[in-house]
Structure 1
Amino acid sequence: MALISIICISFGAWLLLRGSLPTLDGTLKIPALALPVTVERDSLGTVTIRGENRADVTWTLGYIHAQERFFEMDLMRRSASGELAELFGGAALPIDRRARAHRMRARAEAELANAPAADRDLIARYRDGVNAGLSDLSVRPLAYLLTRTQPREWSSADTLLVVDAMYFSLNDASNTRELAFSRMKTALPDAAWQFLSAIGGAWDAPLSGPAMRWPKLPTPADLDLGKLDPATMKSDGPVSDAVPGSNSFAVSGSLAGGAGLIANDMHLDLRVPGIWFRTRLVYPNPRRQGQTVDVTGASLPGTPAMVVGSNRSVAWGFTNSYGDFTDWVRVLPDAGDANRYKTADGSDAVVVHQESISVKGAEAETLEVRDTRWGPILAKDADGTPLALAWTAHRPGAHNLELMNLETAETSDEAIAIAQRAGMPAQNFLVADRFGSIAWTIAGRMPHRTGNYDARLPADWSQPGTGWDGWLAHPDYPLISNPPWQRLWTANSRLVDSGAPLDRLGDGGYDLGARQMQIRDALNAKQQFTAADMLEIQLDDRALFLKPWYERLDKLVKQSPEDPELARIGGILTDWNGHASVDSVAYRLVRAWRNEVKDTVLAGFAAVVRKQYPDFQMPKLAQAEHAVWSILQQRPPHLLPPGYASWEDLQRKCLDRVVARLDEQPGGIAARTWGERNTARIAHPLSRALPAFLARLLDMPADPLPGDSNMPRVQGPAFGASERFAVAPGDEEHGYFELPGGQSGHPLSPFYGAGHGDWVEGKPTPFLPGPSIHQLRFEPTKN
């Protein structure tokens, strides 16, 4: 009897789940459409939407996004607006409090009200399609069944909130680096501050200008770490190497047989389903009578835009630029009124907002947000002065639909102009066209800074002529078009020379240039390129960055051949093959030792800052490799942290600690392969709340993955290439497009996880959709 009950319950649950599956075939009568639209799906679930105008295509794209991905869209709008607790209860309140302080929903509604009528109309068309797609599901999506909630309709402002979610993902909205820099600047001698905060060094590989020189070591007169109390030394623990960013590179048509050739892989947190949605849109070109727009790539559910792809005339991609788009502003109180603060034109009142956060199963919480003309007050400076956050995402004009005009762009010059006008997080924008041209610029809005201040530190904007004076003018954007070297490469490192170009972009924490350099050198090693050559670079897991560390460790081990422990480690190092291979123990050991040494060296400087600020933690210093390597090369006694007899002793004790940690696990160090450490954990958002056997059904397989940070094949367990593609516009038939996590968000869909295996293996999935296996037709009806 119990077995029958279990079978009945399971069958009922299966039927319930089937009720929320998207409609794949048939004909639907739609009053909202002007003309018929067809939706085709191939074996991966790639959607091709064919219509007679972009408005109808936009409505249909919203419909399909909602049926396939509404829960993921909902998470993005809620994460940006601070409304997750309405779904998940009090556990989500800490996340909501941080997001709600930015009041993104109120800002989105104000931005929408001031948007051009054409933008509002198109967003409304998309909104209506989303709500129609959601309402046509006979059962609400699985996530709402599990959370026992009802999905809330989509609003026009929600589309802007999805863009805001990308701002949060690609920018550090808490600007913690600048807060830490303020403490470091206050507590360290200037020579030590300059040494740790420099922008670049020998690993630089910019598009213009030389590599920078790292500053000289602080002298004993500046700083002597040996005088520190060893008890003050502590490690903050490992800092993640994950850098929200990407790779993108291109070669001119003369190196690729005609059209320019571009590759792109955007590095983000990985999930099920993936963030992007494989899409092809086909409709009449409004600019060219009798011609057709045919654009293929990745759309972002929640928005009507194609984010990356190719329209047969131009192809484009993005990487995170890491310019400086957030500033802390010192809020100096007016002596006569505690609720007012000083500005360049007198004083202004602090505006207080009461934000109500709905909480599932509990009373709503009220959050007080204190706002200034520069932004909300969210932190305090090193001396206790309140700080307001100026962030491009807060400013009017930070959102628009300009990116959609790339669908009809015909040349790289047109695409560059569109990108520079786009309202989106400022990104490196790379484009290639069918005539063979390639170009790079910044897409998105950038602040125009005025006044002489270090934008990496909190500043006093109450001084006349200091702060942000609107948006940077497009003629002042950096641009490199058709360089004589015929190659362009962007990762997340500095791309421009020092001086005016770098001053305009600022330093938002550029990544170390090792990955960028490896891509540049791989491009320079060839004179002719195909899409397969671009994939080879994207999958390059050679550990060129760690090679000097391997050689240093190998030398350390060989200095004492009579030491049995070092002899054991020496045997492990013979496994080194110069790659982040899944079966390599040596790679994992060298990597862990490098991180231990780096953290130990930096801990001495952090201890100095903690004397003044006991809770200080060293921020992520992507360029710290230059500082640490410079110290190890020169071995200055005054910079040796306390507790170590020599620099050799420090390196040996770091090795002992790493080996002990690896040895204490089952099988000892010999079983500690890189693949064991770098095993995929690409999960559905709800799987953590489910029993393990159910979670396994939702999550992608736990595959050991090659690759790592500081190499082209960036890969962590739940971080890496959220897509990979390469294409020459006009020759899309020979391009490829890989996606992790699959196309559909429904676990019973044939497209759940579809294509994920190709991404794991680095197998080139065709760029264009395959033969149609499902067709859904939308026919207009009169109201």
Structure 2
Amino acid sequence: MAVMIKWLLRVAGAVVVLALVAVLVAYMLLSRSLPEYDKRLTVRGLDAPLEIVRDNANVPHVFGTKDTDVFFGLGYAHAQDRLWQMMTMRRTVQGRLSEVFGTRTVKIDSTLRRFDLYNLARQSVAAQDAQTLAALKAYSDGVNARITEINQDALGRGAPEQFLFNAPIAPWQPADSIALIKLMAVQLSGHLDNEVTFARASLALDDPARLDDIMPLAPGSGIAALPEYASLFPGAEFRHAQAEPDLTGDPLSPFKRRAFAGASNAFAAAPSRSAAGGTLLANDPHLGFSAPNIWYLARLELQSGGVIGGTIPGIPVILTGRSARLGWGVTSSYLDDQDVFIEELNPDNTNEYRTPDGWKSFRTSRSIIEIKDADPVTLTLRWTDNGPVLPGSHYNLSEVTPPGHVASVAWTALSGEDTTMTSAMGLMRAQTVQQAIDLSRLYIAPSQNLTLVGQDTIALRLIGAMPRRSARHESEGRMPSRGWLPENRWQGMLPFAANPEFVAPKGGILGNTNNKVVDRPFPMHVSYLWGDTQRVHRWRRLMQGRAVHTRDSFIEAQLDTVSFTARSILPLIGADLWFTGEAAPEGTPERLRERALTMLADWNGEMNEHLPEPLIYAAWMRALMDRLIRDDLGPLSREFDHPDPVFIERVFRDVDGASAWCDVKQSAAQETCSDVSRMALDDALIWIEERYGTSLESLRWGDAHQATHDHQVLGEVPLLRYFVNIRQSTSGGDNTLLRGRTRGGEGPDPFQNVHGAGFRGVYDFADPDSSVFIIATGQSGHFLSRHYDDLAQLWRRGEYIPMSLDPDLARAASVGVTVLAPRAE
């Protein structure tokens, strides 16, 4: 027995030693790809030495003798810190993820191949001006210099992920950067999904009038009556399709539901509304969270002056930031830049589709998707005059496509002469607000609201191509339309002068929270879908609450967590529940409801992570939305998994008979809205009790509202996920200025914070060096780097780092200086 124990101990000891050796070897291999920032390197492609000074937050400050050298340095810095992210994004837009990730991503690849975005980006290279082409070429050379260094010095394949996935790295090209802008357009688009959902709701509802409730317009002027979707295709039978894999659920997918189709805040003050007498600008673009964050901070010292702010690795542009004389910020404009068309097939030849001039052959091509550990798949890509033909699984298009038809999409991003990159490059060199506006003429997609501040004025301009539609369009772009009718087809683009513009407003304050910006009749309306009807009310109050503003008051507004929605909706849905009825015995559901209502009655609507009331409120709203729509919409109700405050207000105010939603169709009784509200609150409390216990006072919103900065491919790997995922308790919610969009859905964590401000910047032109910014994780994409998450806690606490163009401040306590020198040929 003693001998057996001795051998068991020896075996156990050997296993432990082998495990430690394996861990050490793995760490050694993975750490080889950690960038070294303090070094001198000779590279090809430079005319003179350049410096990359990494300040104490690891923000690269790039100094060169000419602009092309500076862009070379930015490419090298991006590749040092975010090479895996860049290569994954490039594979995504190329439709080549399956070469690395196997069958998991075939649906994503096949859909992106149909859009053909990468080939359109290659065509667009020739449309750029000479200065932009030179910058793109230099940037690509910088990226490739880092790739060459990795290969020559065996630097761990450049990223830890490269050891787990065999993903050969091709040289970077100018077209790759243009393609990534088109990929951003995919992530920010919501109209295709919205049109299909509108049509599905039209088919599902017994009363067509209820469409105005469940998919309401942003408050403002009304819209002319639309036809029922089924009436556009007389005699057609629409079938509920078998459930397809949801492309929006995969972390690698760029396709997002309309609830996550981009959001942001940007606001500016003129000198007359600034305490220090200079213009002010705040900007916080909202995108899905990930680790590393999509944003990367950088400073470029161009011949026209220094620029600093947020970049996206792979795109050599400061997308939001400032120079010495100009600041710029972006928000999603929600321009209706997509239309879905239902194309009729020729029953005698399905290779043809109907046009206003008769039958016409599809433009076709073949594309082969290589799949890791599986046979390749060959696709036949088809295009109509309106745009590419999409698979029926994409956003459930099959459910609104009658037999004998296919769906295509028109989209401004499908341009082979896309000069968006030239516009963005020019913006960094602009010296005045008017110069920036003039340069935005070349901007195509994705459409944005560009907020500008100069030395003495402020402006907001919608940038991006606006489709020209006929006033006789049968659906006004709100739902799919018949592609063969000439009045439904796009008629080119509107002139640049049609884009809404606001320059030097009399009140001295302007801003955008994705709210409705203009109230013009169709077809000059801009959009029927807007990203915000709620945050703007709180923003307006904060802006009007002060005669003059400061950098700190703008920071306070950017971090505000008071929910206008909670303050306005709770009195409506609880009007007949508060302080009514007899006192209930302790331990009963009625007593629990009384406690919850008492807590909410004393609450000011602040979505603070340490408070219990936000969780009670959010769970109540979620249960209420489900109670109101599930019996009417059935499975389609899953598409409306975020409570819509405008819908709920219509129902409880009985606008145009909207209270009909409160009655449960399947029950014999006539339920009132008060009944449904009470039942929804009980549902919410039961869910809270099962998940968090019955002690309502000890609940914390932050326990449920955790920011999920998860690694896209390693975030679900057991054990490893604890090293690569960044989770944080956060304040805010769906409708607060400090926006923390919740996951929604029926999963176990519906209130996780999955979408918000990955970048925040506040610029004060009375004292530009006092300007500040922050990103949500860290500069590095290497999970063994201390810069992987070193900014995360600052971001969570609402803190910032300085945004200075002073070279001496950048060098002070820098984490390293990289000198790139030209190599003698």
TM-score by length of 1: 0.88
The Cα shift of 1:305 comes to 0.9
Q: 1:167 Cα shift? A: 0.9
Is the contact made by 1:305 and 1:401 (CA closer than 8 Å) also made in structure 2? no
Distance 2:411 2:688 in 1: 43
Change (3 A) 1:200 1:605: farther
Alpha-carbon deviation of 1:483?
Answer: 0.8
Deviation by residue 1:675-721 (Cα, 9 ceiling, x = unmatched): 111022212223334332x3222222x32111001110101423211
Q: Which moved more, 1:458-467 or 1:84-93?
A: 458-467
* Residue of structure 1 aligned with 2:429, choices 399, 408, 433: 408
**1:628–1:698: structure 2 CA closer, same or farther, 3 Å change rule?**
closer
The 1:450/1:633 distance shift into structure 2, 3 A limit, reads closer
Q: 455, 467, 472: which is aligned to 2:494? A: 472
User: Which is worse superposed, 641-650 or 652-661?
Assistant: 641-650
Matched, 1:641 2:664: yes
Q: CA deviation at 1:195?
A: 4.3
Deviation at 1:354, TM superposition (A): 2.0
- Asked if 1 retains the 8 angstrom alpha-carbon contact of 2:578 and 2:597, the reply is no
Contact 2:75 2:141 in 1 (8 A): yes
> Tell me, what secondary structure is at the counterpart of 2:482?
coil
Residues 533 and 699 from structure 1, CA distance in 2 versus in 1: closer, same or farther, beyond 3 angstroms? same
**Which residue is 2:704 aligned to?**
677
By how many angstroms is 1:260 displaced?
1.6
- Structure 1 residue aligned with 2:819: 777
What is residue 224 of structure 1 aligned with on the other side?
A: none
Match of 2:798 in 1: 762
Q: Secondary structure at the match of 1:744?
A: coil
TM-superposed deviation, 1:249? 0.7
Q: Structure 1 residues 653, 117: closer, same or farther in 2, change over 3 A?
A: same
Structure 1 counterpart of 2:252:
none
Matched-pair contact (CA < 8 Å) for 1:662–1:668: yes
* Map of 1:688 onto structure 2: 715
Q: Partners of 1:441 and 1:49 in 2: how far apart?
A: 30
Per-residue deviation, residues 375-422 of structure 1 (Å, max 9, x unmatched) = 112245454432211111112333432111112211111112222322
| 2:199 maps to which of 182, 197, 202 | 182
- Secondary structure of 2:802 counterpart: coil
For the structure 1 residues 620 and 394, does the alpha-carbon distance in structure 2 shift closer, same or farther, using more than 3 Å as the test? Answer: farther
State the Cα deviation string for residues 147-168 of structure 1 (Å, max 9, x = none).
2443333233221221122011
- Classify 1:154/1:719 alpha carbon distance in 2 versus 1 (closer, same or farther; 3 Å): same
Whichever residue aligns with residue 536 of structure 2, its letter is Q
Describe the SS at the equivalent of 2:468.
strand
Contact 2:353–2:360, Cα closer than 8 Å, also in 1: yes
1:273 aligns with 2:292: yes
Q: Deviations over 1:435-490 (max 9, x none)?
A: 2x111111222222235211112223433454223332111111010111111110
Identity between Structure 1 and Structure 2 (%):
24
For residue 621 of structure 1, report the CA deviation from its aligned partner.
Answer: 9.5
User: Where does residue 760 of structure 2 map in the other structure?
Assistant: 724
Deviation at 1:624, TM superposition (A): 4.5
- Structure 1 counterpart SS, 2:139: helix
Counterpart in 2 of 1:123? 136
Q: Which residue number corresponds to residue 221 of structure 1? A: none
Equivalent residues of 2:629, 2:637 under 8 A apart: no
CA contact (8 A) 1:16 1:139 kept: yes
1:651 aligns with 2:651: no
User: Which whole-Å CA distance do the structure 2 matches of 1:266 and 1:621 have between them?
Assistant: 23
Q: Tell me by how many angstroms 1:104 deviates.
A: 1.9
Letter in 2 for 1:330: I
Match of 1:167 among 177, 185, 188: 185
Letter of the aligned partner of 1:319 in structure 2?
T
Task: Find the counterpart in structure 2 of residue 133 from structure 1.
Answer: 146
Q: Per the alignment, do residues 213 and 471 of structure 1 end up closer, same or farther by CA in structure 2, a change over 3 Å counting? A: closer
Rate the CA distance shift 1:458–1:485 in 2: closer, same or farther, 3 A. Answer: same
Alpha-carbon deviation of 1:93?
1.8
Aligned counterparts of 1:496 and 1:7: Cα–Cα separation in 2: 64
Equivalent in the alignment of 2:233: none
Match of residue 33 from structure 2: 20
Moved more, 37-46 or 357-366: 357-366
- Distance, in Å, in 1 between the alignment partners of 2:348 and 2:707 is 58
Partner of 1:153: 171
What CA distance in whole angstroms lies between the structure 1 residues aligned with 2:387 and 2:695? Answer: 51
Matches within 5 A, 1:187-586: 188-201=206-219, 211-212=220-221, 242=260, 244-256=262-274, 257-285=276-304, 293-334=305-346, 337-378=349-390, 379-380=397-398, 381-384=400-403, 385-398=405-418, 399-435=420-456, 437-453=457-473, 454-464=476-486, 466-499=488-521, 503-507=524-528, 509-551=529-571, 552-553=573-574, 555-564=576-585, 565-576=589-600, 577-578=603-604, 579-586=606-613
Cα deviation 1:710-762 (Å, max 9, x = unaligned): 11010142321111111034632111101111001112333221221110000
Q: Which residue type is aligned with residue 295 of structure 2?
A: W
Letter in 2 for 1:682: H
For 1:205-251, what per-residue CA distance to the aligned partner results, in whole angstroms no more than 9, with x for missing partners?
A: xxxxxx447999xxxxxxxxxxxxxxxxxxx9x99965521111111
Q: 1:781 to 1:638 in 2, by over 3 A?
A: closer
Aligned twin of 2:57: 44
Structure 1 residue runs of 5 or longer lacking an equivalent are 202-210, 217-235, 286-292, 608-614
Query: Structure 2: which 5+ runs fail to align?
Result: 1-13, 226-245, 250-256, 391-396, 743-752
Query: CA, structure 1 residues 467+400, in 2 after alignment: closer, same or farther (shift >3 Å)?
Result: farther
Partner of 1:709: 734
- Describe the shift of the 1:626–1:279 C-alpha distance in structure 2 as closer, same or farther (beyond 3 A): same
Task: Give, as a single letter, the amino acid of the residue that structure 2 aligns with 1:493.
Answer: N
**Could you say which residue in structure 2 is the equivalent of 1:668?**
694
Find the counterpart in structure 1 of residue 4 from structure 2: none
1:68 to partner: Cα distance: 0.8
Decide whether aligned partners of structure 1 residues 627 and 573 sit closer, same or farther in structure 2, where only a CA change above 3 A counts.
Answer: closer
Q: Which stretch shows the higher mean deviation, 1-10 or 514-523?
A: 1-10
Q: What residue number does 1:64 align with?
A: 77
Q: Secondary structure at the match of 1:484?
A: coil
Q: TM-score if structure 2 supplies the norm length?
A: 0.84
More moved, 107-116 vs 511-520: 107-116
Q: 1:80–1:168: 8 Å Cα contact kept in structure 2?
A: no
Q: What secondary structure is seen at the aligned counterpart in 1 of 2:681?
A: helix
CA distance in 2, matches of 1:343, 1:214: 28
Whole-angstrom distance in 1 between the partners of 2:800 and 2:130? 41
Aligned pair in 2 of structure 1 residues 547, 242: CA closer, same or farther (>3 Å)? farther
SS at match of 1:429: strand
User: Given the superposition, is the C-alpha separation of residues 638 and 735 from structure 1 closer, same or farther in structure 2, using an over 3 Å criterion?
Assistant: closer
Preserved CA contact (<8 Å) 1:744 1:752 = yes
Q: Report SS of the residue matched to 1:305.
A: strand
Note closer, same or farther for the CA distance 1:616–1:773 as it changes in structure 2 (3 Å cut): closer
User: Helix, strand or coil for the counterpart of 1:35?
Assistant: coil
Aligned to 2:786: 750
Partner Cα separation in structure 2 for residue 461 and residue 738 of structure 1: 46
Q: Distance in 2 between matches of 1:596 and 1:402?
A: 46
Identify which range, 552-561 or 307-316, moves more after superposition: 552-561
SS in 2 for 1:99: helix
Name the amino acid aligned to 1:445: A
Write the letter of the residue equivalent to 2:704: R
Contact (CA 8 Å) 1:45, 1:754: kept in 2 or not?
Answer: no
